[in-house]
A and B are shown apart, each in its own frame.
Chain A
């Protein structure tokens, strides 16, 4: 038996805009968690460029809050450092190495390639209420938006 909840994506996006007076940190202003080393500069740059190119090529846009974009790119780069491939950072895996070998969740994942569905909110179609207007993110933005993580 399931329960239905309804709300509009527009209202969720409005909440995001209202709360996004500054870039969103990993936690609220009263909490900060730094638990992970940042990815290597090399792979961070690789994934940054990939993200920009893929957004352009797929006709998708980065999130209106680019801290989301920055976090995901850092996650992709970290997985590329540790696993050799940009495994989707927005999922839990029983066996990351096996998932990398399988390839389904290597970015761009199959749902993204086939249906432009990115649950990481990295690549958003124009009609998505969370989509911004940009397809670029600089290295400086990447670092600045994730420096407190």
Chain B
């Protein structure tokens, strides 16, 4: 058995991300109001970055089976947001992001639990690089919660959230 080194008790980045996901939730006001243009917000949690085009990463064959959470590209997302009649949760992820795998599973549970009361979708940030850059997506996964009420600001979190927390945000903040 490996010998354990006693480490000082400190909050790890993951736990801090988690706690910041549970604690401060940035209100991305521009995201909801500017859904047609999907421009980045001026939230204090978001830093402005130079939007350089990212070189495409090597891709293999694509094989998909549909689940409850629909994958969308930027155009589909814009249409969905413009026509939304229920809260939306947008999961910005990358294929080889470990916590994104967990978040994806949790979001499937959320969609299964809430059914038509919410629309959960996912966006691959490696495919939709321009959109991710415009929205100043940084850490993954990033969840964006959008209310059907156009006047309400969108919320965003970084890090994996359990399904129960996502449901709580939807029910308490978006509905």
A90-B98 contact given A19-B105, A27-B105, CB 8 Å threshold:
yes
Cβ–Cβ < 8 Å partners of B138 in chain A: 91-92
Cβ–Cβ < 8 Å partners of A89 in chain B: 94, 96-98
Among A1-42, those with CB < 8 Å from B are 1-7, 9, 11-12, 15-16, 19, 24-28, 30-38
Cβ–Cβ < 8 Å partners of B127 in chain A: 35
Least CB distance, B33 to chain A, in whole angstroms:
16
Among A114-149, those with CB < 8 Å from B are 115-122, 124-130, 133-135, 149
Cβ–Cβ < 8 Å partners of A85 in chain B: none
Q: How many residues of B contact A (CB 8 A)?
A: 81
**B97 & A32 in contact (Cβ 8 Å cutoff):** no
Cβ–Cβ < 8 Å partners of A115 in chain B: 10, 13
Least CB distance, A144 to chain B, in whole angstroms:
15
Type the 1/0 row for B40-51, where 1 means its CB is closer than 8 Å to any CB of A: 000000000111
Tell me how many residue pairs across A and B have CB atoms closer than 8 Å.
226
**B18 & A31 in contact (Cβ 8 Å cutoff):** no
Docked Cα-Cα span, A60 to B22, in Å, equals: 24
Among A67-92, those with CB < 8 Å from B are 67-69, 71-72, 74-76, 78, 81-82, 89-92
Cβ–Cβ < 8 Å partners of B52 in chain A: 94-95, 98
Docked Cα-Cα span, A78 to B94, in Å, equals: 12
**A75 & B96 in contact (Cβ 8 Å cutoff):** yes
Q: How large is the interface on A (under 10, 10 to 19, 20 to 34, 35 or more residues)?
A: 35 or more
**Segment of B54-62, B72-80, B81-89 engaged in the interface with chain A:** B54-62
Cβ–Cβ < 8 Å partners of B151 in chain A: none
A94-B54 contact given A34-B64, A35-B60, A72-B97, CB 8 Å threshold:
yes
A92-B155 contact given A1-B27, A24-B101, CB 8 Å threshold:
no
Docked Cα-Cα span, A12 to B16, in Å, equals: 13
A7-B165 contact given A96-B54, A128-B14, CB 8 Å threshold:
yes
Cβ–Cβ < 8 Å partners of A90 in chain B: 94, 97-100, 139-140
Cβ–Cβ < 8 Å partners of A11 in chain B: 162
Type the 1/0 row for B122-161, where 1 means its CB is closer than 8 Å to any CB of A: 0011110100110001111010000000000001001110
Partner-A contacts on B (CB < 8 A) = 2, 4-7, 9-10, 12-19, 21-27, 49-55, 57-69, 71, 92, 94-102, 104-106, 108-109, 124-127, 129, 132-133, 137-140, 142, 155, 158-160, 162-165, 168-169, 173
Q: For the complex of A and B, list the 9 residue pairs with the smallest distance between their C-beta atoms, beginning with the closest.
A: A117-B13, A31-B67, A75-B96, A37-B60, A59-B5, A68-B98, A95-B52, A5-B22, A72-B98
* 30 examples of A-B residue contacts, CB within 8 angstroms: A3-B24, A3-B25, A3-B173, A4-B22, A7-B164, A11-B162, A27-B67, A28-B108, A31-B68, A32-B64, A35-B59, A36-B57, A38-B60, A67-B101, A74-B96, A78-B58, A81-B58, A90-B97, A90-B99, A90-B100, A92-B137, A111-B13, A116-B12, A121-B14, A125-B10, A125-B12, A126-B4, A127-B7, A127-B9, A127-B12
